[in-house]
Copies of this chain bind each other. A is one copy, B any other.
């Protein structure tokens, strides 16, 4: 269909190699022939076949961001970090989804080496697959997920510390009777956040009431149900720490329905700082992860490895408290 470099060379009356040099702006050609070639290319509307070029060069100048779903949930600032750093380094970035697991686009791209490196933010790609695809010279960075392998590294936010921060904040504001609504037991993040919570409680000599250890599964629905249950039990805590914002959203709905005011009657704190958190009234106090920085660091590592420099295998970034309006101060 389209014209190839051969056609261009023929029309310009030069060898294919010369045409290639001219088109790629490599100095070896005289300006006269360069113009001839570029003219011919224009006439034929020549566009180079990127695939052939990649094959020959054996590099693509592209890195991939593997997401579990292209249509969300949205790691907006993380992606921004990835995007900006890639662009600044002159690399192309593509995103693809791992829906379908081992037969997904995402897996195809790392297995078949269709890119020069990959950042994985997806939990449905088996460890095995990743380890099979990883090799020296093909950098893979995992986000929010650990994988011990010599040519894979990972960066994560400090969820433990985030849990600590949130809990300390509640305690500083005079709360002592604090409930915790967990995500799924299988989630490492949930575990870490909970660890931070217990540590803060213990540090202050506060006891964790088993009846205030609720399960919410990281969903809005789950948070709603957990709070309903808590209300049914009668004895309310002074504050609730939801292990993520979505559960907090559901929980707040349940509280409102029961006529319990936030923060006047009960304080609420979340985790993640999702977009909706800001739009709640009052705004949800929560813990922000340094998403942009995580993304930026991930690509940065890719480039370091690509350049042959060695990097650590594991990076942990700090979390940050975002104070809005759902925690009130209790005067003692």
Contacts and interface: CB of A to CB of B under 8 A. Distances in A.
Interface of A: 1-2, 45, 47-55, 60, 62, 64-65, 69-72, 74, 76-77, 79-80, 83, 87, 92-97, 99-100, 105, 108-109, 111-114, 132-133, 135-138, 275-276, 279-281
A85 to B, nearest CB: 12
Given A1-B137, A113-B51, A99 B71 contact: no
A97 B113 contact: no
A113 B47 contact: yes
A2 B48 CA distance: 27
Contacts of A92: 96, 105, 108
Return the 9 tightest CB-CB contacts between A and B, nearest first.
Answer: A50-B112, A92-B105, A71-B80, A71-B79, A279-B279, A95-B95, A94-B94, A94-B96, A50-B114
Contact of A279 (B47, B54, B132, B276): B276
Give the oligomeric copy count: 2
30 contacts: A1-B137, A2-B135, A45-B132, A48-B112, A49-B55, A50-B108, A51-B55, A51-B112, A51-B113, A52-B55, A53-B112, A62-B105, A70-B79, A70-B93, A70-B95, A71-B77, A71-B83, A74-B74, A87-B100, A92-B96, A93-B96, A93-B105, A94-B94, A94-B96, A95-B95, A95-B96, A275-B276, A279-B279, A279-B280, A281-B281
Contact of A135 (B1, B71, B77): B1
A4 B45 CA distance: 35
